[in-house]
Structure 1
Amino acid sequence: MMAEGSAGKAADPISSIPCVKCDAPAKLQCPKCLEMRLPRDVSAYCSQACFKADWPGHKVHHRVQLPAEPGAKLDLAQAALAKGWLYATKKGAARTDQCPTFAWTGDLRPLPISPRRRVPTSIPRPEWAETGYPEQEIESRQQRTVEIRTPKQIAGIRAACKLGREVLDAAAAAIRPGITTDEIDRIVHEATIAGGAYPSPLNYHNFPKSTCTSVNEVICHGIPDARPLAEGDIVNVDVSVFLNGYHGDLNETFFVGKVDDVSRRLVQTTYECMQKAIEIVKPGVLYREVGEVISRHASMNTFQVVKSYCGHGIGDLFHCAPNIPHYARNKAVGVMKAGQTFTIEPMINTGVWRDRMWPDGWTAVTEDGGRSAQFEHTLLVTETGVEVLTARFPTSPKVFPWLHE
């Protein structure tokens, strides 16, 4: 059975806290959570029915171990766990340790992640918001056919991309030594819902956060967690928003304080790779040419291109045809046509191009532990060339020295 109110404070109402399951005003709390003094925003429910329906996922919170004595010193991971945070999930399945037998390639380790952030029920959401599975996207004909967007669709995608740029700029302005990637996720989440949109990554194939934050050796799909960014780090923030039925997708890699020369050159080269690829986009260009341009510039600067991930079509679906590989001599089939929308998002490594997956099932890291950088834009092929739908604003934070030198 669940308990009413909060522990030891009968007069302390919880009606201001939304139900974990359905966002209705809460009336009850999980008694085990009360006993463990876990945050109310992970333990409040409107009814026994919602509590029972949420139990398979909720019970994981009870694995948290609080300090044995009041005032006991906690390390970073223990402190996060004591607040009700969890270790990263593997496609929805909880992990309770840091996998001590895994062969880590660099210095990073997974730290706990905060509870899933809420999206108001008034905001339209994609199919995976509740189920975690994009069934309609997977089965869509757009996985096989590159769609030519209608003017109405283009307007919708353009609006989503504009909001995505505003959200990424908000995150960029906050990056500094000491901020955690979880705090960046909070900024992205709140800016997205303030714009009336749903953060596309949230619960997509059970991804637990509203943005991807990829630090140092992480190539992509890093999960925001309790680790503070350190002076000299680089961090990629990948923002995707779902606004009125359409997605916008973009990312940038940022410096955290002062970085070494190799990191600076890596990030600038990755940006240039993306820009040079965008310059060739126009009707009649083969998709595979994108990889040739990117690989040529990366290799000239002694870096390598990741081959495991590619650009993708986007619109009313988050991911669809065409696939846009970023490496040379790829087998991409097809020709660009006016009205198509897709992303170009090269991932460039200082060392080998090969990647390895962390045990969380999401975090892709470089095989040799070297650093990786990425940039991404959503593009519209026009009759005469290309429109960068996620282009930087004149007011965007001036965080890339080579654009202002």
Structure 2
Amino acid sequence: MKKRNVAFLHPDLGLGGAERLIVDAALELVSAGHAVDIYTTYHDPQRCFEETRGSGGFGVTVAGDWFPRHIAGRFLALCAYIRCILAALYMAWLSFKGKAQYDAVIVDQVSVVIPFLKHLTRSRVLFYCHFPDMLLAQRRSQLKKLYRIPLDWVEQTTTGHADLVLVNSAFTQGVFKKTFSRLAERGIVPDVLHPAVPIPSDGELQEADATWEAKLDRDLVSFMGGGPMLLSINRFERKKGISLAVQALHEFLIRAPGSLPKVTLVLAGGFDARLPENVQHLQELKDLVRELDLHDRVRFVVSFTDSQRAALLAACTAVVYTPQFEHFGIVPLEAMAAKKPVIAVNNGGPVETVAHEETGYLCEPTPAAFASAFRQLLCVSEDGGTSDARQMGEAAKARVQAQFSRAAFGCKLQAHLEAAMKDGGKIRRT
């Protein structure tokens, strides 16, 4: 396969599932011999994935960061568009000067940059759609609805300029078709490219099992107390439904047998003090824990390192994943790769990754349903269900290895890249 010069353009290279996908994609292309650079409008070396600090074999360039993120707390989407356009113009300037020329640019999240890259450079442009932004935007007022009209039009129109459109799941593919009706009428169909995760070896997992206590705060280790620990990993955003995990634990404890070892819940997630919702929702969750009198059962871990994330996965009995209609969700894959069963909502991306009653449980998004899954996993044997969790964990890792490995993801990405290069920029149509 011909070696290519490839660039990524991503709005905010922080910590999250979208960022993890971009980093993994870059790593796989680098390992295949391609030259890779990532452009972004924000990158904090203190709050990012380790590979973006230089160890990944690709460069990270920040551009457009001088433009504000918002204007008096408003116009966040518009400002994000402008920041990304500035980054795209910087890439075009480098291309014009002959300092950085790319065979292909992979854009995700913000499609508005696609026409700029298409017309100002010679690069093929691939767009990775995590989920239509127009469906994520809130429209609580008439003014906000009017504000979104041109942005929604721009999103659909510019998405249609890409040489190839990819989506992260069959669920998103269906939503894409319904949402971007003008593109559907043109016969534009995105291909599915599931995100992937690195799969630790059994030796690495055994080492994590033996050393996780040393990597976590002593108070947190003491809090767990050696009993079953349920783990939630999500950004502290309301749409992630983290309160469902807290309410489900409360429901479970009401009916749990007295002989069961102490069950705890750790709520871990990315936290950005710049974002008001992160600050507000973390406090809302703490208030809920206090209201349900679960202070001795629930702990919060904010903004952890990759090492601490691995330690938390090693320490837990199962991972609780609560977002509804999540377009994909990388956390269930990370959990299963670490041999942990997943209890998730029975819609969205987890339906494609979690095998019900084999690698975990898919539940209705209610405290009662999740509490029932907790009971099935934790109360079926004298050891607190750990034997059953281990069996599910083994099946979970085997599933990820077969269907969602990073190597398989890299091969599929390269195939899509080559298709975009050979098709002369013709977007796939039915």
Higher helix proportion, which one?
2
Q: In which range does the TM-score fall when normalised by the shorter chain?
A: under 0.3
Q: TM-score, normalised by structure 2?
A: 0.26
Q: TM-score, normalised by structure 1?
A: 0.27
